[in-house]
Amino acid sequence: MSNQPPTLRLDPAIFAGSCEPPLDELYGDPILQAILHRDGIDLDALKAVVANAQRRLAA
């Protein structure tokens, strides 16, 4: 039996073209929701901040 940690094998295609998941997918992520809950941040408030930043960047 080996004492070495398991090797993590990621599919390099997921990083092709610097793809990012859509915001709606991130907003639905249970880990993000747990972090927001832990930090006392309302998801709707986060969405409003992001939408405001998007508008400002587009201007």
> Domains of the chain: which residue ranges?
21-58
Average predicted confidence (pLDDT) for the chain: 85
- The pLDDT of 24-45, averaged and rounded, is 95
- The pLDDT of 32-54, averaged and rounded, is 97
- pLDDT score, position 13: 67
* Residue 11 or 20, more confident: 20
Rg of the chain over Cα atoms, rounded to whole angstroms, equals 17
User: Are the C-beta atoms of 33 and 13 separated by less than 8 Å?
Assistant: no
pLDDT band at 19 (very low <50, low <70, confident <90, very high): confident
